[in-house]
Amino acid sequence: MKVTKSDITISAVAPKQYPSEGLPEIALAGRSNVGKSSFINKLINRKALARTSSKPGKTQTLNFYIINEAFHFVDVPGYGYAKVSKTEREAWGRMLETYFTQRENLKAAVLLVDLRHQPTADDIRMYEFLKHHNIPVIVVATKLDKLKKAQVAKNVKLVKQTLNLDPNDQLIPFSAETAQGKEEAWRVLESYL
Ligand code: GDP
């Protein structure tokens, strides 16, 4: 996809704030620091529309980005940050539950995991949560450039096994540094739009 226009529409905490134009949405989820902002920025050719390394402690919002006036990316706040309080974690959980279970515009979710490491318990929970709600999942495995070539296939297998990835779900190794995986990611995302 050639992205010619992208902008933030709204940072929302509640359904009444979600955009109302009825455009399709693709949600992006992953643990803090996995490379979610970098992935979004790379796909839309922007340096910093999605904030990289947004600090926990800020209000946790769903950020809606409008792309080519045709669809929204929905940036879901990252999980797995140790210093978040129980109250904040619970509020985050309710916000996600509401969005993922009620939003009719949602077409698919991108789950970002770090290709260098075995997926965490939180990654597994998020994958199972999305599957449970019958949301199509595309796994994007980030930081591909940090791995030696010989290591890639082994780590892809480890990610697939640990998530117990449905054979119908796609896994795309990706690097925000080299843009490897970008074309494939767009190809898969477009099939849901
Ligand atoms: P977020 O918290 O998930 O939004 O993560 P960020 O996009 O802010 O990335 C966290 C850190 O990882 C930043 O220092 C990024 O520059 C770095 N990073 C993200 N993606 C990649 C990648 O594909 N390759 C490399 N080498 N670094 C990356």
What fold is seen in the domain 6-190? Rossmann fold (3.40.50)
Q: Which residue has the higher pLDDT, 115 or 32?
A: 115
**Closest listed residue to residue 44, CA positions, set 63, 60, 65:** 65
Q: Residue 35 Cα, ligand 1 centroid: separation in angstroms?
A: 4
Structure ipTM over 0.90, yes or no: yes
18-52 pLDDT, tens digit each: 999 999 999 999 998 999 999 999 999 988 888 75
Q: Residue 22 Cα, ligand 1 centroid: separation in angstroms?
A: 31
* C-alpha triplet 55, 58, 61: angle, nearest 5°: 105
Per-domain residue ranges for the chain? 6-190
CB 95 within 8 Å of CB 78: no
For residue 153, what are the CA distances in angstroms to 99, 160, 183? 34, 11, 19
* Residue partners of 72: CB distance under 8 A and separation at least 6: 9, 19, 23, 24, 25, 26, 64, 65, 66, 105
Ligand 1 neighbour 36 (Cβ under 6 A):
yes
